């Protein structure tokens, strides 16, 4: 088993065979991910096994974003200019139902963080954002150091500082 990440290729990857148990995430992969990637809205990164490279084990979508400076926790605002903070947003992250519990969610999140850190060397990126779908998802992200935004309007909008 040799796992690797690659960008979604709608001709090669079996989007219809993917099911994570959350209909909105399944539908996005089947119906919107390819279009969003072609239109420059988001990129979709899929986790596959070389033994069956068409089968999607999990995916995450990433997009450019920004966060209002006052949405950061006070300690994270220090020495930052008074305008929106450059960010990358995890639009979606899902693992196929038949491999859930295998640590692939952690791998996908790690991949997203690595993409951000690499991007940070070429372009300003300060935080990784996510709007957790539900409380269980929010707990997953908090377990990896994501912090709640300082504003109370979106309790499941979380961010991970990407270093100084």
Catalytically active residues are 141
Do the Cβ atoms of 41 and 81 come closer than 8 Å? no
- CA dist list (Å): 67 to 6, 61, 83, 130, 138: 27, 18, 9, 11, 18
SS3 breakdown of the chain: % helix, strand, coil, rounded to 5?
A: 30, 30, 40
- Cα distance between residue 99 and residue 13, in whole Å: 17
How is residue 19 written in tokens?
Answer: 């099911």
E-assigned strands of 8-104? 43-49, 58-67, 85-95
């Amino acid at each position: 088993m040799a796992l690797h990440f690659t960008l979604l290729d709608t001709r090669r990857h079996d989007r219809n065979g993917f099911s994570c148990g959350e209909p909105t995430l399944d539908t996005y992969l089947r119906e919107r991910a390819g279009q969003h990637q072609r239109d420059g809205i988001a990129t979709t990164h899929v986790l596959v096994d070389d033994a069956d490279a068409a089968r999607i084990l999990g995916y995450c979508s990433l997009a450019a974003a920004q966060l209002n400076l006052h949405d950061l926790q006070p300690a994270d605002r220090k020495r930052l200019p008074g305008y929106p903070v450059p960010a990358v947003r995890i639009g979606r992250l899902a693992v196929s139902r038949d491999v859930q519990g295998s640590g692939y969610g952690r791998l996908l999140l790690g991949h997203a963080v690595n993409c951000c850190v690499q991007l940070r060397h070429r372009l300003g990126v300060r935080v990784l954002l996510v709007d957790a779908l539900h409380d269980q998802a929010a707990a997953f992200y908090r377990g990896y150091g994501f912090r709640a935004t300082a504003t109370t309007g979106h309790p499941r909008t979380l961010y991970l500082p990407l270093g100084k």
